[in-house]
Amino acid sequence: MAERNERPKIKLAVYWGAACGGCCVSVLDVHEKLFDVVANADLVFWPIALDIKYNDVEAMPDQDIDVTLFNGAIRNSENKHMARLLRQKTKILVAYGSCAHLGGIPGLANLSTKTEIFDRIYKESESTNNPNHTRPLEKYEVKEGTLTLPEFFNDVRTLAQTVDVDYYLPGCPPQTERLLEVFMAIVSGDELPPRGKVLGATDKSQCDECPRKKSDKKTIKEFHRPWEINDDGETCFLEQGVLCMGPATRSGCGHRCIEVNAPCRGCYGPAPDVIDPGAKMMSSVATMIDGDTSETIEKILENVIDPAGYFYRFSMPASILRRKIPENLQAQAPLQK
Amino acid sequence: MDFEPTIVSFLCNWCSYTGADLAGTSRMKYSPNIRIIRVMCSGRIDPTFVLEAFKNGADGVLLCGCHPGDCHYQSGNYKCLRRYNMLKKYFVQLGIRPERIRLDWISASEGKQFANLADSFTETIRHLGPCKIKNVIETYT
Amino acid sequence: MEEIKIGVYVCWCGTNIAKMVDVDQVVDQIKFLPDVAVARNYKYMCSDPGQDMIIRDIKQHHLNRVVVAACSPRIHELTFRKALAKAGLNPMMFQMANIREQVAWVHTDREKATKKAVSLVHAAINRVKWHESLDKRTIEVNPATLVIGGGVAGMSAALEIANAGKQVYLVEKSKKLGGYAAQLDLTFPHFYSARQLIKPMIRHVEDHKNIRIFKPMQINQIFGYMGNFQSTLQLANGDETKLKFGNIIVATGLQPFDPSEITSYNYGKLPDVVTSLEFEKMLAKGRIETCEGKEPKNVAIIHCVGSRNANYHEYCSRTCCMTALKFANQIRSALPESNIFDLYADMRSFGKGCEELYTQTSRKNVIFLRFDQQNGLPEIRSTNGEEAVSMLIEFTEQFSKEQVEVPADLVILMVAMESHADAKDISHIAGISMCGNSFFIEKHPKLDPVATTSDGVFIVGTCQAPKDIPDSISQAKAAAARVLATIHVGTIEVDVITATVNEDICCGCQTCVSVCPYKAISFNKEKGVSEVNEILCKGCGTCGSTCPTGAIRSRHFTDQQILSQIQGLLSPDNKFEKM
């Protein structure tokens, strides 16, 4: 430790965009290792833990922050503004967690439009009690001046679709051990991998480490939800007809879900050369279907109720087609026979 | 000018591509909106290709393979059929009309059938109008 | 990485392409695309001067990629690959854009056709950037040959190869060699006895030391690839025998059309309506008679039964007209006093000695009457014993346009030739494509009518198309020559467009293993990854699109190559709206 302390401390920032807070908590989850972190880094900005204002960040010189862990997707103008600001102020910008990496769970909002989301929240939801039909306004004049709220975008984007990103640390949330490894690599001044790489995860997919028994008998006669099968705790989920994103998902998480007998949901994102993990997995799973006619195949597919939500759970905004076409822009013409 | 659809078609080498060639050698006429990419087998058609075509502005995608039971590689066309059915479900969720992708079987001797298919699919897409996904990806922020 | 330099060549194909595609404009539009070093158009790219142009440019401009926009790659891809190799470039650094079969010949709007041609060339340019050098694999050719089918075609091929001193395995499904030809009486046009032709041939085959015959025997599966096929046969005594062979000649032959589906002929209901094959047997027995054993006074022959008719088979069966004339001659000799009516739709008497046979027959008091299939087929009905003849055939005679009735005591239906019912199974076993009418498809209808799209598999005789004995034998001997040539050279070079696994990425999910129809992928337990047996892999690419990790690359059809092709095809400049 003494040796390391001779090195100047690095300046570390942690920020959240459209996120659930889990990523910030995962940083706290370093537990007693936090002392190692604090010994090597000054936390200069972290809204969840420190009272440092945006103005303070704006006042920092460019490239002043050594590392920013940016978690969360880009949902509104505030997220976008902060992404740009932190990019300007940071040497190494890390997309931290699934949302910053691929859009994550908030990215599934791309299957709805802004109007649909607002209608649901401020009008239709079972728990909504909004008799005055109040809706958020971006600007509101009061006698003290103008009150503003960030603009809610139509589209959820990833951090890399908004600003240049140096590294990605995937996961929902990233495994804390992986964060520490990456952090220590940065502070120890080791040579860093080429820009744009995914850190804290392997190039191989989950199956490589998955303790379940796998074979080549991946034929699916019927798809099941995990609770519908008598899981023997040993056999590959896919071979039991349960959708598991493991084959299309990088390893590194320690297969946490599989450990508790839940199939992989894909939060660590795709293997290195895969452009669209959802498409790859759709292709792979569809190939396993035990049917050679449209009727049989459609019948078996009836149990795959939500392919977008399943295959693109964490990667919708980063996927090739990114989102749903708003209804007013869809083709309305009835189909000719 | 009227809407002119852009259609990408993936044809397997042994049956469909040969069938399309036969349409040519027989001087059959069909819509110029179809642009063909050759793969060895319809089993090679990765959903990624279909998505990439739409992302780049295709209004429709036509997949063709050998007739069921006649695949040069025994079973690639069945795999294509399964993926096609899966993709259609995904397309519904994206607000893309599933009619914008079509899978059909064209044998090496079915030049006429290919020409007819090219025309009828072009008409379907013309009728549906332009696919807005490219535009939406680029501008709907 | 080495700088990419692409040469792009747009072919006029005389006027074939240039008439519908503005080749100058294509060159103008693509010459500024990134990495395009040379762009030209020329009358005939496939000609020697055309190829020399490419070779010269490769050397002068240090090109490392070539795109030719011309005909279908199925026709000239190999030609241009060879030109690249001549210039010292790896032949796989080449991509073709098909602007003849899939543009010039099928479109009528020159502006749109040109635009589409540009987009196809753009796609090819994008794709070729990602091409990689691939080496050919040299494999040894097993000198034995499998012949499937012991008819006249199969036996001819077998004899030709066996006489050259090479081993032949001849597999015949039935108990006897000889096939359809062995069931004929006389042959046309010279009335040789079929038995006298076929019998010595069968004996020769049976006695040949280089031919091993398996009959009755069916082939269930063939593994391997050109040069190294193998199959296991189940012998009658329960034993198995494993055969290894380098080439396959398929000669599964024909089956006669079943005329009972043509209701107006009442075949099967009227006992004196017989097929041409049944009549052959009657002739072979030496007596022409009705079902009651009487000599027929009136004999009618009806052509095109099941042929040249969209309801049955659109094709012409080629041999029936001449067989009908042969019948007329045989009937005239056997029954000099009979009336012979030949009801034809068209008299097709091409071929050596055939028109002569027609002229000669027409002098033998045979009444030729023409009907038109478009206006309905003749109706055969029974007179129920109310008239002197047992049947009447009613139809419109085409020249006089008059409704006529022809009396008949015996009617011979000249039934169409169909591909044998087993052909479908054999097509899967041997990897041959079929036409819509279930005949096998040759590699090229004009330039390569003996080979198939599966290397090392040849088709001979009536499994390819209706044909007569001399044509079947010619084709059989041609196939034998092809086979002997590969055996003589001893090795063949094959493209390596197989799948390959990146072991650093493969996670061992094994989804690819069961997807492969050729069992070319296996799981290496020790390494925990899948492995491709490149010898067994036929390069379909299905595993590549099944692999969820991107670990499997389908060589020469990689994701990157196809995705760039899509992007080029759909480049905004290439849309019709931009015209």
CATH 2.60.40 fits B7-136, yes or no: no
- Judge whether C349 lies within some domain: yes
Contact (CB<8Å) A325/B55: no
Q: A305-308 long-range CB contacts below 8 Å, 24 or more apart?
A: A306/B93, A307/A282, A307/B86, A307/B89, A307/B90, A307/B93, A308/A108, A308/A111, A308/A278, A308/B90, A308/B93, A308/B94
Q: What is the pLDDT of residue C139?
A: 87
- When divided into structural domains, chain C yields a total of 4
Same domain, C305 and C328: yes
CA C101, CA B21: separation in Å to the nearest integer?
Answer: 5
Tell me, yes or no, whether C360 and C487 share the same domain: no
Question: Is the confidence at residue A26, as pLDDT, over 70?
Answer: yes
C407/chain B closest Cα distance in angstroms: 42
**Which of the 8 DSSP states describes residue C186?**
B
User: What is the C-alpha to C-alpha distance for residues C3 and B122, in angstroms, rounded to an integer?
Assistant: 40
**For the residues A282-307, what does the mean pLDDT come to?**
96
Put simply, whether A91 touches C (Cβ < 8 Å) is no
Mean pLDDT (chain C) is: 94
| Cβ contact C481:C247 at 8 Å | no
Confidence band for A2, pLDDT divided at 50, 70 and 90: very low
Contact indicator for B24, A256 with CB cutoff of 8 Å: no
Q: Kindly indicate whether the ipTM for this predicted assembly is greater than 0.85, answering yes or no.
A: yes
* Predicted confidence pLDDT, tens digits, chain B (141 residues): 589 999 999 999 989 999 999 999 999 999 999 999 999 999 999 999 999 999 999 999 999 999 988 888 889 999 999 999 999 999 999 999 999 999 999 998 899 999 999 999 999 999 999 999 999 999 888
- Contacting subunits of B (3+ beta carbon pairs below 8 A): A, C
Using only C-alpha atoms, what is the Rg of chain B?
Answer: 15
The residue range of the domain holding C295 is 256-416
Best mutation target, C506, C507, C554, to test chain A (most A CBs within 10 A):
C507
Share of chain C above pLDDT 70, in %: 99
How close B92 gets to chain C, by Cα (Å)? 22
Better pLDDT: C446 or C200: C200
The nearest alpha carbon in chain A to C522 belongs to A216
Q: In the structure, what pLDDT confidence band is assigned to residue A333 with cuts at 50, 70 and 90? A: low
Query: Are C159 and C85 members of one domain?
Result: no
pLDDT for res A139: 95
Residue A112 has pLDDT above 70, yes or no: yes
Please answer whether residues C559 and B46 qualify as being in contact, where contact means their C-beta atoms are separated by less than 8 angstroms. Answer: yes
* B81, B39 Cβ separation under 8 angstroms: no
Name the amino acid, one letter, at C394: E
Given A297, A319, A320, which is nearest B85 (Cβ)? A297
pLDDT score of C578: 62
Position C579 scores a pLDDT of 62
The percent of residues above 90 in pLDDT, for chain C, comes to 85
Smallest Cβ–Cβ distance between A154 and the set B46, B124, B140 belongs to B140
Domain of C268: which CATH number?
3.50.50.60
Q: What is the pTM of this model?
A: 0.83
Fold of A2-106+156-187: Rossmann fold (3.40.50)
Instruction: Tell me which of C438, C464, C492 is where a domain ends.
Output: C492
pLDDT at residue C39, rounded to an integer: 97
| Residue A93 confidence class, pLDDT cut points 50, 70, 90 | very high
The verdict on C473 and C504 lying in the same domain is no
- Residue C441, pLDDT > 90, answer no
| pLDDT tier for residue A181 given thresholds of 50, 70 and 90 | confident
Q: Is the pLDDT confidence value at A337 over 60?
A: no
Same-domain check for residues C274 and C381: yes
- C-alpha angle C276/C282/C283, rounded to 5°? 90
pLDDT at A336 over 80: no
Q: Is pLDDT above 60 for A4?
A: no
| Domain parsing of chain B, residue ranges | 7-136
Same domain? For C408 and C312 the reply is yes
Containing C356, the helix (H) or strand (E) segment is helix C354-362
The CATH number of whichever domain residue C100 belongs to comes to: 3.40.50
Q: Give tens-digit pLDDT for C74-119.
A: 999 999 999 999 999 999 999 999 999 999 999 999 999 999 999 9
Burial class (CB in 10 A: 0-12, 13-18, 19+), C199: middle
Q: Are residues A282 and B90, on separate chains, in Cβ contact within 8 Å?
A: yes
Q: Is C140 contained in some domain?
A: no
> Which of C436, C539, C540 faces B107 most closely, judged by CB atoms?
C436
Is the residue at C283 inside a domain?
Answer: yes
Q: Is the pLDDT of residue A59 over 70?
A: yes
What's the pLDDT score for residue A266?
Answer: 96
In a domain, C551, yes or no: yes
Q: Are residues C155 and C125 part of one domain?
A: no
Q: Does residue C392 have a pLDDT over 90?
A: yes
Predicted confidence at residue B1, as pLDDT, reads 56
Query: Do residues C161 and C13 share a domain?
Result: no
pLDDT at C534: 84
pLDDT at residue A335 in the model: 55
pLDDT for position A1: 44
* Three-class secondary structure assignment of chain A: CHHHHCCCCEEEEEEECECCCHHHHHHHCCHHHHHHHHHHEEEEECCCCCCCCHHHHHHCCCCCEEEEEEECEEEEHHHHHHHHHHHHHEEEEEEECHHHHHCCHHHHHHHCCHHHHHHHHHHHCCCCCCCCCCCCCCEEEECCEEEECCCEEEEEECCCCCCCCCEEECCCCCCHHHHHHHHHHHHCCCCCCCCCCECCCCCCEHHHCCCCECCCCCCECCCECHHHCCCCCCECCHHHCECCCHHHCECCCCCHHHHCCCCCCCCCCCCCCCCCHHHHHHHHHHHHECCCCHHHHHHHHCCCCCHHHHHCCCCCCCCCCCCCCCHHHCCCCCCCC
Evaluate whether residue C139 is within a structural domain. Answer: no
* Contact status of A204 with chain C (Cβ, < 8 Å): yes
pLDDT at C50: 97
pLDDT category at A184 given cuts 50, 70, 90 is: confident
C-alpha to C-alpha distance for C222 and A310, rounded to whole angstroms? 41
The segment(s) of chain A belonging to CATH 3.40.50.700 are 2-106+156-187
CATH of the domain at C550: 3.30.70.20
Least confident of C31-40, C430-439, C528-537: C430-439
Q: Does C78 touch chain B (CB under 8 A)?
A: no
Contact between C509 and A214 using a beta-carbon 8 Å cutoff? yes
DSSP lists the bridge partners of residue C67 as C8, C95
β-pair partners for C267: C270
Say what the pLDDT of residue C1 is: 67
- Residues C428-437 have a mean pLDDT of 80
